[in-house]
């Protein structure tokens, strides 16, 4: 199993980025994929989750209305469209996969079996 993130970079506040998480070795219908982010000295926090099998999406309050998660099943890829970016969104972003999703704790990093290596997002003020 491999998850590979891409699409990070430097963007001014108010700008947009689209992150990609290319997944191999598992199918999106059987796994939930979540985007997490982490800044130095802080806990890794859940940003957004998609479960194709349940046809469900979840968002952290701090990104609702700004970020959109989606999939391209043909490419086995999960996207995170990030709009109206803020300096507080600066972080390393990771995607992770779990075969068992607990909806009430989708944001818990402890429930995920597979992780990507991360991509850096920097939002300048």
Task: Report how far apart the first and last C-alpha atoms of the chain are (Å, whole number).
Answer: 37
Per residue in 42-63, pLDDT (tens digit) is 999 999 999 998 999 999 999 9
Q: Among candidates 79, 45, 50, 38, which has minimal Cα distance to 62?
A: 45
Percent of the chain's residues with pLDDT above 70: 100
What pLDDT does residue 3 have? Answer: 98
When pLDDT is cut at 50, 70 and 90, the band that residue 69 belongs to is very high
Q: Is 9 left (phi over 0), alpha (psi -120 to 50) or beta?
A: left
Q: Among candidates 8, 1, 17, which has minimal Cα distance to 84?
A: 17
Per residue in 88-111, pLDDT (tens digit) is 999 999 999 999 999 999 999 999
């Amino acid at each position: 199993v491999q998850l590979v993130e891409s699409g990070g970079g430097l963007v001014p506040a108010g700008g947009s980025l689209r992150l990609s998480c290319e997944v191999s070795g598992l199918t999106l219908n059987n796994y939930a994929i979540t985007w997490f982010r982490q800044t130095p000295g802080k806990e890794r926090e859940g940003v957004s989750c998609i479960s194709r099998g349940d046809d469900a999406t979840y968002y952290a309050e701090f990104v609702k209305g700004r970020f959109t998660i989606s999939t391209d099943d043909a490419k086995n890829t999960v996207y995170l469209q990030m709009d109206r970016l803020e300096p507080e969104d600066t972080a390393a972003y990771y995607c992770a996969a779990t075969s068992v999703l607990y909806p009430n704790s989708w944001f818990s990093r402890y429930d995920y079996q597979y992780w990507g290596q991360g991509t850096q997002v920097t939002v300048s003020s």
